[in-house]
Amino acid sequence: MHFFGRTLLASAVAMTAFTAAAAPDDAAIKAKLGGLGLVPNSITPSPLAGLNEVVTDRGIMYVSDDGSYFIAGHLYKNDGAKPVNLTEQKMAKLNKDKLKGLESEMIVYPAKDEKYVVTVFTDTSCGYCRKLHNEMKAYNDAGITIRYLAFPRGGERSRNFSEMSAIWGAKDMAKAMDDAKNGHFDPSDIPQRPDVVRKHYQLGVAMGVSGTPAMILEDGTMLPGYQPAPMLRKMLDSRNDNS
């Protein structure tokens, strides 16, 4: 057998051995990601051989069977007219489940003729969050109920962490939020709820929130950034028509 043939045969044997031996090593994956400060909540095979879908406390990653390699990004399925974002689909389902039971901790601005409900991670120091809040009537008039969760962008290091803790500790949280977004909130003598704000922030991080405002639709899909009321309503109608 000439050199090329021997090389090809050796490669085939090596690939066969690798394929036969390849299997997710959950302990190794957990150990490797643990070294990065990530906690895997689930490890399942991905559509790509040799890569596993790992749901962590900071989103979804795709990790090799031995944990030595990982991809942080979105996985698309490309077999039709439009690529399907598989990562976004999975995150939407996870996000929807994570929001269950949190309604009592949300600051809600209900639409009189409600058609849609959008949950928003907000920060009182964020300019676009204030812009969204100042247009609350437009969202409500468009049939969109807005529900707030707290997301001080720097976590507990944020300068407004105590302010947001006081908002969630106020008897009238909606009024406190109104005042804070307009720069007239006095947090003195208001019992603070840092536990709630910390919980919301950690939830946002787990859901992949990296900035504010971050809008979560009813199916769990995330829309990063500010969306004007007319544009948001049009997009929601379009999604509803296509569902």
The count of other CB atoms within 10 Å of the CB of residue 90 is: 17
Residues 124, 180: Cα–Cα separation, whole Å:
7
Q: Report phi then psi at 115, rounded to 5.
A: -115, -35
Q: Who contacts 75 (Cβ-Cβ below 8 Å, separation ≥6)?
A: 46, 47, 48, 53, 62, 85, 86, 87
User: Helices 173-181 and 127-134, interaxial angle, to 10°?
Assistant: 120
Give percent helix, percent strand, percent coil of the chain, each to the nearest 5: 45, 20, 35
Query: Active-site residues: which are they?
Result: 123, 126, 129, 153
Phi, psi of 199 (to 5 degrees): -60, -45
